[in-house]
Amino acid sequence: MQKLRTALIIGATSAAITFLFGGWSAVVVGVIAGAVIGMTYGQRSALRTPNGIGREAVVPGLVGGLVVVLGGVIHQFIVRPATGQSPFFTHTLRFFGSNAQIDSITVLIISSVVAILAAAAAAFLIGSAQGLPPDKRNRQIAFALGGFLLLFPFYEQITNLNWMGALITVQIYILLALGLNIVVGYAGLLDLGYAAFFAIGAYTTALLNSPRIEIQWNFWLVIWIAAAVAAIAGIVLGAPTLPLRGDYLAIVTLGFGEIVPVIFRNLIAVTIREPFTRFCFVGCDPAVEVRIACLYSCEGPLNLTGGEAGVNPIGRPVIPFTPDSLFGSSSYLPWYFLVLALIVFSIFLISRLRDSRIGRAWMAMREDELAASQMGIDPVKTKLLAFSMGATFSGFAGAFYGAYIAAIFPGVFDFSVSVIILCMVILGGLGNMIGVIIGGILIMGTDRLFLPQIATLLKKFMQVSVLPNVSNEALRDFLSTSVDPIQMRLALFGIVLVIMMLVRPEGLVPSAERRAELHAGEEPRGAPVTADEPTT
């Protein structure tokens, strides 16, 4: 029983998801829980053979799956009635065009059985991988992960889980977080205005590919241009920060992060005229003056970015030999695979960067800029490259986002976006790509999947079970409007940041050096030590 404790904990945490969603989600959650159980037990195992370790992980996997399934059962028979829904209803399955109906009890049974078996299988697979030498292990895990990521969307579509929209958003933000990780995690430059690059990527795509402005370039070309423009923007916005240290650098990036969306929001009446030829206050012929001096948009001011209304619509990607409507609003699948491909591509690029000379230069500079410069690392080039490379990925993300939503509005790119991405990087672990991805899934998943679902259930719960029993008018009004988890999201991100800083600044999945670095000022036990070391 003691040995199964970890499996129970992992299962219980994952069961929170099935508790909220029930039904078919059990299988997905079961697989993930099983994989995590497999990894934990596999790493702890004293055995040597992969098969042996895998077999050892099977029972914990079954246990974890069982707990997950239990969450689903509770959802169906306790949560649903409490929120005014019947435990007995019909699910619709979609098989590429035709539908099938199954009753909810059958669904529960099927998904539970499959979930438990899948959990055990995942535990075996990942657990046994722990017994392999590192490269084989990574390959096995990569295969398992890849298989999961490829099959999952089809499962989701068939079972009507309705997670896809949220998940694609999660993936966009993961792209952004990977980019910010270069700047903050590798190079150690606290960038608080990262949303500006996101905006630049999105607006570049929008302006080059919108029927509204009568430019329509191919998306596959535009995405590279957007990335390039973002990269250049990284250099331009990073340059003024070069002489600054830590907190001032952060404030300046914050400033830019605010200025850029303001610029995009307000380019609604653009006319550019050469200044010197306008030096005439009295007695000049305006028509002549305009013809000489005007350089851009002379017939009348140009509404470049659409202001508050944004750019709408934006053209969609088209793959040759496929129908034009493939990347449409009807199906999520093509989008999912596109952004997944972008993420895989980015991970590949970034790990190349990290292991290259420039990557090592970044880390050296992060540790000690002065020492690094003494060893021949040019801080100017290194910093600018960090900003530039970091911004490139937000260029990709912005391009995808623009095409996906098919419209962009300046209000989307505000400071809270920059902070949310920073939240992900900090939660996951500065400088660690896997950590950042996990942080991204946790934060955005909570924001786009969890919170809305909790909010919906809570609202129904209030209506059905609580409000009828509350007589006080004011209290009833309060409960129905103010108790809304979605409205608490700012506080949620804030609390994550504060708690992470106080308790675990190196993140959930840190590298060992980072942990040592960040806890250096602490005593192993006893009172905290103060300030500088003296010379005698």
Partner 1 sequence: MRPWQKVLIVAVNIYLLLFFGPVAGFDIFRIIPEIASKPSTLLQQLLIGIANGSIIAIIALGYTLVYGIIELVNFAHGDVYMLGAFMSLTIIGAFGVTAESTGAQKIVAILVAFLGAVAFTATANVTIERVAYRRLRNAPRLASLISAIGVSFILQNVGLFWGGLKAFFPIMGVNAAAPKAFPELIGRIDVFKDILGWNVPISFSTKDLLVITVASSLMIGLRLFVQYTRLGKAMRATAENRDAAKIMGIDVDRVIAFTFLLGGSLAGAAGLLVGLYNNTAVFTMGFTAGLRAFTSAVLGGIGNITGAMLGGFLIGILAAFSDQYFSSRWTNAWVFAVLVLVLVFRPTGLLGESIGQKA
Partner 2 sequence: MLELKDVHTYYGNIHALKGISLKVEKGEIVTLIGSNGAGKTTTLRTIQGLLRPRSGSIVLEGEELTKIPPHLITERGVSQSPEGRLIFPRMTVLENLEMGAFSRKDKDGIKRDLERVCIVFPRLKERVKQKGGTLSGGEQQMLAMGRALMANPRVLLLDEPSMGLAPILVEQIFQIIQELNKQGTTILLVEQNARMALSIAHRGYVLQTGHIRLQGDAKRLHDDEEVRKTYLGEE
**Residues of the shown chain interacting with partner 2 in the complex, contacts defined by CB under 8 A:** 520-524, 526-527, 529-531, 533-536
Tokens of 347: 């991970």
Tokens of 470: 């509350």
Choose which of 117, 263, 290, 458 interacts with partner 1 (CB under 8 A): 263
Positive/negative CA dihedral, 247, 248, 253, 255: positive
Write the interaction track for partner 1 spanning residues 509-528; mark x where CB under 8 A is met and - where it is not. Answer: ---------x--x------x
Contact partner, 91, from partner 2, partner 1, none, Cβ < 5-8 Å per class: none
In a 10 Å sphere around its CB, with 0-12 CB exposed, 13-18 middle and 19+ buried, how is residue 178 labelled?
Answer: buried
Q: Of 64, 52, 60, whose CA–CA distance to 130 is shortest?
A: 52
Write the interaction track for partner 1 spanning residues 376-415; mark x where CB under 8 A is met and - where it is not. Answer: ---------------------------------------x
Choose which of 45, 206, 222, 265 interacts with partner 1 (CB under 8 A): 265
Closer residue to partner 2 (CB): 320 or 521: 521
Q: Could you say whether residue 536 binds partner 1 (CB under 8 A)?
A: no
Choose which of 88, 248, 337, 348 interacts with partner 1 (CB under 8 A): 248
Contact partner, 287, from partner 1, partner 2, none, Cβ < 5-8 Å per class: none
Q: Could you say whether residue 259 binds partner 1 (CB under 8 A)?
A: yes
At 302 the three-state DSSP class reads strand
Write the interaction track for partner 1 spanning residues 170-199; mark x where CB under 8 A is met and - where it is not. Answer: --------------------x-x-------
Cis peptide before 261 (omega within 30 of 0): no
Q: Compute the least distance from the CB of residue 523 to partner 2, in Å.
A: 7
Q: Which residue has the tokens 């570049």?
A: 204
Contact partner, 370, from partner 1, partner 2, none, Cβ < 5-8 Å per class: none
In a 10 Å sphere around its CB, with 0-12 CB exposed, 13-18 middle and 19+ buried, how is residue 372 labelled?
Answer: buried
Helix ranges (H only) for 160-218 are 164-180, 195-208
Q: Could you say whether residue 283 binds partner 1 (CB under 8 A)?
A: no
Q: Compute the least distance from the CB of residue 516 to partner 2, in Å.
A: 10
Give the integer Cα–Cα distance in Å for 199 and 211. 19
Determine the size of the site formed for partner 1 (CB under 8 A): 63
Q: Could you say whether residue 81 binds partner 1 (CB under 8 A)?
A: no
Computed over its alpha carbons, how large is the radius of gyration of the chain?
Answer: 27
Q: Report the length, in residues, of the chain.
A: 536
Choose which of 6, 140, 266, 373 interacts with partner 1 (CB under 8 A): 266
Contact partner, 488, from partner 1, partner 2, none, Cβ < 5-8 Å per class: partner 1
User: What is the DSSP code string of 346-379?
Assistant: HHHHHHHHHHSHHHHHHHHHHH-HHHHHHTT--H
Assess contact for 514 and 366: CB atoms under 8 A.
no
DSSP, res 383? H
Q: Of 477, 486, 334, whose CA–CA distance to 403 is shortest?
A: 334
Closer residue to partner 1 (CB): 163 or 256: 256
At 135 the three-state DSSP class reads helix
Return residues touching partner 1 (CB under 8 A): 190, 192, 240-241, 243-244, 246-248, 250-252, 255-256, 258-259, 262-263, 265-267, 270-275, 278, 281, 415-416, 419, 422, 426, 473-478, 481-482, 487-491, 493-498, 501-502, 505, 518, 521, 528-532
